[in-house]
Structure formats: C-alpha cells, structure tokens
C-alpha cells in the first residue's frame, strides 16, 4: 500500500516547490490521493523554502507531517531543521554538493547525492532539484521519468518548453547516480 509522506527543503530558488508539486501531480496522474503544502521563509529567493507532500491510497486529511517517510534536503540549514522529522527506518536524501557534514541519524537510510555537481556537469545548476528527484524515484520507484517529464512539459507551458529536455536529463542523471552508488 502506498502511503508516503515527503518533505522537500532548501533555499528559495532551488526548485523545492516544483519538486514537491511534481510529486503531487504525478500522484494525481496515477489516481492516488495527494496533498502538497508549501512553506516559505520571509524572502522568496535565497530564503528558506520547504513543502510537504503526502501520497496515499487512503484519503489524506491533513497537510501536517510530524514524521516523514522521506526528506530531501538541498542545503545545510534544511538538514539541521528537518533531519529529526524523518521517522525511524525512513529515508534522508542529502545534497552533498552543498552539505559537507554527515547526518546525525543512524536509524534512517541516508543517501548523499551531489545534486549541484551533477547539475553543473549537465550545464545548469538550477536542475539540481531534478537530480535529487531522479535519485528519490530510483529508490522508491513511485513514478517513472515519463510521467514526470509529461508533467514538467504541462507545468512549464510553451514559454519554458525548451527547458524540458534539460530537466529530463537531470532526472536521468539522478537515477543513474543512485543506481551506481546505492
């Protein structure tokens, strides 16, 4: 049974909200119940940003996640703030390009993904969020790349259609990195 609670966190401008939205949209595409709940710091770009996503076969009644199955953190302040919210046995995805310390938890699976470094090799640091999403999807197998790419195209619209291929490449790179290292 699918019942996944996810927190995505980082600086504003890192694509944290898009990452969460795509998971929620993909859940809708698959006929699952979902809820996406954004939270911003006082600044939009450069301030803190996080979102909670619940994906379930059961009805979703609250946006509040006290313990997450998975947390994806793209910066150090987010690791400090959210590491304690992963349930024992849960998963923690850490952007090791921007976080040089190790997680403190030993009761969770931790995956260190150099998302910014991988995104830089692709040619655009702004797709680090898609690298992280690719790694997460490689682990959970919740959704395939085709579903996410279709939703990206829909979300971006005609104005940003030229960015879909780059984001698709980042998703694949994140999956590949995960499969090679974990």
| pLDDT tier, 62 (very low <50, low <70, confident <90, very high otherwise) | confident
Element (H, E) at 172: helix 164-181
Are 96 and 119 a contacting pair, CB within 8 Å? no
| pLDDT tier, 40 (very low <50, low <70, confident <90, very high otherwise) | confident
Tokens matching residue 128:
């680090």
Ordered by where they begin, the domains of the chain are: 3-129 (3.40.920.10)
Would you call 89 exposed, middle or buried from its count of C-beta atoms within 10 A (0-12, 13-18, 19+)?
A: exposed
Are 8 and 20 a contacting pair, CB within 8 Å? yes
Which pLDDT tens digit goes with each residue over 71-94? Answer: 999 999 999 999 999 999 999 999
Which pLDDT tens digit goes with each residue over 45-61? Answer: 566 799 999 999 999 98
| pTM (2 d.p.) | 0.94
Give the torsion sign (CA, 85, 17, 145, 113): negative
């Amino acid at each position: 049974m699918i019942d996944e609670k996810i927190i995505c966190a980082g600086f504003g401008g890192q694509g944290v909200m898009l990452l969460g939205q795509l998971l929620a949209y993909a859940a809708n595409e698959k006929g699952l119940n979902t809820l996406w709940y954004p939270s911003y710091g006082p600044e939009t770009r450069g301030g803190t940003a996080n979102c909670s996503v619940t994906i379930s076969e059961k009805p979703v009644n609250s946006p509040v996640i006290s313990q997450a199955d998975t947390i994806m953190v793209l910066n150090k302040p987010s690791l400090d703030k959210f590491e304690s919210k992963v349930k024992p046995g849960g998963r923690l995805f850490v952007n090791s390009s921007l976080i040089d310390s190790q997680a403190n938890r030993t009761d969770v699976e931790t995956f260190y993904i150099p998302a910014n470094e991988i995104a830089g090799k692709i040619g655009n640091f702004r797709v680090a969020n898609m690298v992280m999403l690719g790694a997460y999807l490689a682990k959970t197998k919740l959704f395939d790349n085709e579903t996410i790419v279709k939703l990206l195209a829909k979300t971006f619209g005609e104005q940003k259609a030229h960015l879909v291929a780059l984001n698709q490449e980042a998703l694949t790179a994140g999956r590949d990195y995960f499969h090679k290292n974990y």
